[in-house]
Amino acid sequence: MSSLEGVVIADFSRVLAAPYATMMLGDLGAEVVKVERPGRGDETRTWGPPHYQDEATYFLSVNRNKTSLQIDLSTEAGREQARELIARADVVVENFKPGTMKKFGLDYESLGRDDLVYCSISGFGAGKGADLPGYDLLVQAVGGLMSVTGPGPYEPVKTGVALVDVLTGLHACVGILAALRHREATGLGQLVELDLLTVLLSSMVNQSAGFTLAGSVPKPMGNRHPSIAPYEVFPTADQPIALAVGNDRQFRRLCSVLDVPELATDSRFVTNSDRVKHVDELFEVLAARLRARPAQHWFETLTPLGVPCGPVNDVARAFALAESLDLAPTATIDDMTLVANPIRLSRTPVTYRLRPPKLEQ
């Protein structure tokens, strides 16, 4: 038996944030029925390259364990079909522009079901930000993430994946599961609302709290950390390596391996706070030593001593690393190799039952 076996989700989502959430719930055993526009489907069906055969890998990445139902919500017949689906569903998930589902008479209030868990995801909420477009890049920009990402203040950089969408999908899962637990106890459903902007502000954790608690407005630091040193990427004889030295003991061991034990007693570097204050000088000394050997040498030498480090891998090498650690990073459905769900449950493991649906299914 799966954790969410018997739970039915009417999935009116598209693109990334909400489809990621419903895929995760599907992996946990829920029955997910994805509602798509007739003949066109989810926008991400056309977002390529890359493709797997003739299908966009973007769509395939977030839509397994779902069936597809084509419904034209602009027609009364389509809206009635949608209401029939919702009537047998435990959960509705949607991420249309705020007000769209109300226009169709399919919003939480119009449906009037006390036992329904209804999750709405938007870019900037259903109030004054309702008309703002909820694209991940835009939210990274106006939400502050790009202001702390990049080599300097005039070179803001987005993350290499739509991270805000993914974080919002995960938060949506938490909210939906909490609402289902409450319904189990009381018989009552509820409205679950999320927006990309406040999810991002929450997910910036220490950077956000530095502002709310101390009035500190963080700036981009490249690969450095505002509160820890050395905690950045260094050159080696062949490829970059990341060092994440989190305490003084680790720093002393690093200095010993690099044959500069005197650094550990240097007044500029004795404590973490000292090292943060003198991070430029520290980088120069460590980089000169690390350039002498390849990244793999340092990884194999420092890791057994408890000094966190690792080469900067590309995605192929990252998957190879996970495989070498027996972490099973992929899952196969039919002939399709997809990224595995990272949640491991001892009694009710995730399942991979359905490949991402083709539009005609």
Residue numbers annotated as active site? 165
Tokens 């490249």 belong to residue: 222
- The CA-CA-CA angle for residues 46, 198, 145, to 5°, reads 70
Rounded-to-integer distance, Cα 274 and Cα 229, Å = 9
- How is residue 245 written in tokens? 């030295």
Rounded-to-integer distance, Cα 56 and Cα 53, Å = 8
Report which of 272, 61, 242, 49 is spatially closest to residue 169, judged by C-alpha positions: 61
The two beta strands, 31-36 and 66-70, are parallel
Collapse the DSSP code of 75 into the 3-class scheme (helix H, G, I; strand E, B; otherwise coil) and give the result: coil
Specify the amino acid at residue 143: G
For the chain, where are the alpha helices, taking DSSP H only? 17-27, 57-60, 76-87, 100-103, 108-111, 136-142, 163-186, 196-203, 205-214, 248-257, 272-277, 279-290, 295-302, 315-324
Indicate the angle between helix axes 163-186 and 196-203, nearest 10 degrees. 100
